[in-house]
């Protein structure tokens, strides 16, 4: 996700200094961007990348990953000059977002939690949906820059609000994919033409991004792409923890998380989230043996 986003920043005319914890990935990104004539370079630590920046953008994996690149002697926050803006596109816990905001303020910095939705394709095509938490002033600075890779940018509220909105996003996706999986197995077992079934129902109230973008590959049993189940389970974990902390029950999300755990245990952790359908056996086709 981070590589194409940084590429869009460079293409928009920004001078970009990139850091990746896997040096070979940073080297490959550098070569590709230099071939396009972009003003880019790489750094050996996140502190080095952040030291002279006006804005610092992060996109890693989870709370621990964010801590590793933001804090400590080689972390970005201590290297950033007063007044610099830290924009975190990682999906982390709302509590982690608030910690980053507090630590940034203590250093005279600004911070925004800005998780994204749209997957790898959205990042590559500059069509990400970004949900943000932070101050109005920080949003005003960040929005024109994030426009380079965004389809929509919404300021949801104070620090942590962007992450909470992303949790709601992931809960919606999980529930939709569970229903879609069962619906497709029903259509298959009834002997329906899957293309015609999609055509019939995708124009009505059942329509969703998941249906439009995953129906065909789910029908074919193709899952070697997209947003990995490992990452979805991480995100749902944050969402369920946040819900419990608010005294809420989330039975559907909890159940779908258990379903994902089954696919994960069967070796499907790196498959797209639409692989949820693989845990449902196909029933005998209409007219077949029972």
Residues 96, 222 within the same domain: no
pLDDT of residue 289: 43
Residues 25, 149 within the same domain: yes
Domain stops at, among 123, 139, 158: 158
The answer to whether residue 286 sits within a structural domain is no
Residues 207, 108 within the same domain: no
The answer to whether residue 289 sits within a structural domain is no
CB–CB of 17/49 below 8 Å? yes
pLDDT at 290 over 50: no
pLDDT at 224 over 90: yes
In this structure, what CATH number is given to the domain that contains residue 112? 3.40.50.720
Query: Containing domain of residue 233, as a range?
Result: 164-279
Count of structural domains, the chain: 2
pLDDT in tens, 233-276: 999 999 999 999 999 999 999 999 999 999 999 999 999 999 99
Residues 241, 98 within the same domain: no
The answer to whether residue 48 sits within a structural domain is yes
Residues 13, 53 within the same domain: yes
Overall average pLDDT of the 125-136 stretch = 98
pLDDT of residue 284: 81
Return the percentage of the chain with pLDDT > 90, whole number. 96
Residues 153, 183 within the same domain: no
Residues 216, 198 within the same domain: yes
pLDDT in tens, 52-69: 999 999 999 999 999 999
Residues 176, 135 within the same domain: no
The answer to whether residue 57 sits within a structural domain is yes
Residues 65, 194 within the same domain: no
pLDDT at 88 over 50: yes
pLDDT of residue 242: 98
pTM: 0.94
The answer to whether residue 271 sits within a structural domain is yes
The answer to whether residue 285 sits within a structural domain is no
Domain stops at, among 158, 182, 211: 158
Residues 259, 143 within the same domain: no
Overall average pLDDT of the 73-83 stretch = 96
Residues 48, 149 within the same domain: yes
Q: How confident is the model at residue 287 (pLDDT cuts 50, 70, 90)?
A: low
Residues with catalytic annotation? 166
In this structure, what CATH number is given to the domain that contains residue 216? 1.10.1040.10
The answer to whether residue 116 sits within a structural domain is yes
The answer to whether residue 287 sits within a structural domain is no
Residues 104, 238 within the same domain: no
Token couple for 166: 């992303």
Domain stops at, among 125, 140, 158: 158
pLDDT in tens, 91-124: 999 999 999 999 999 999 999 999 999 988 999 9
């Amino acid at each position: 996700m981070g590589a194409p986003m940084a590429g869009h920043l460079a293409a928009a005319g920004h001078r970009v200094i990139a850091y990746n914890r896997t040096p070979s990935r940073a080297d490959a990104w550098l070569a590709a961007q230099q071939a396009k004539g972009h003003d880019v370079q790489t750094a050996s630590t996140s502190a080095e990348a952040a030291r002279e920046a006006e804005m610092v953008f992060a996109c890693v994996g989870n709370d621990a990953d964010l801590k590793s690149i933001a804090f400590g002697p080689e972390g970005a926050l201590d290297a950033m000059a007063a007044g610099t803006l830290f924009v975190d596109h990682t999906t982390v816990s709302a509590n982690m977002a608030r910690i980053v905001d507090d630590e940034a303020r203590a250093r005279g910095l600004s911070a925004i939690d800005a998780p994204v939705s749209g997957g790898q394709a959205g990042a590559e095509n500059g069509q990400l949906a970004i949900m943000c938490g932070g101050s109005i002033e920080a949003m005003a600075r960040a929005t024109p820059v994030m426009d380079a890779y965004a389809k929509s940018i919404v300021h949801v509220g104070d620090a942590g609000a962007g992450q909470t909105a992303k949790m709601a996003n992931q809960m919606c996706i999980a529930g939709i994919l569970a229903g879609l999986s069962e619906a497709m197995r029903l259509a298959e077992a009834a002997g329906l033409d899957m293309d015609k079934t999609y055509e019939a129902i995708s124009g009505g109230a059942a329509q969703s991004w998941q249906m439009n973008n995953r129906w065909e590959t789910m029908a074919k049993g193709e899952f070697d792409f997209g947003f990995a189940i490992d990452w979805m389970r991480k995100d749902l974990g944050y969402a369920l923890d946040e819900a419990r902390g608010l005294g809420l029950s989330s039975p559907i999300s909890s159940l779908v998380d258990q379903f994902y755990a089954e696919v994960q245990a069967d070796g499907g952790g790196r498959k797209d989230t639409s692989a949820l359908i693989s845990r449902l056996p196909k029933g005998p086709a209409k007219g077949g043996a029972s």
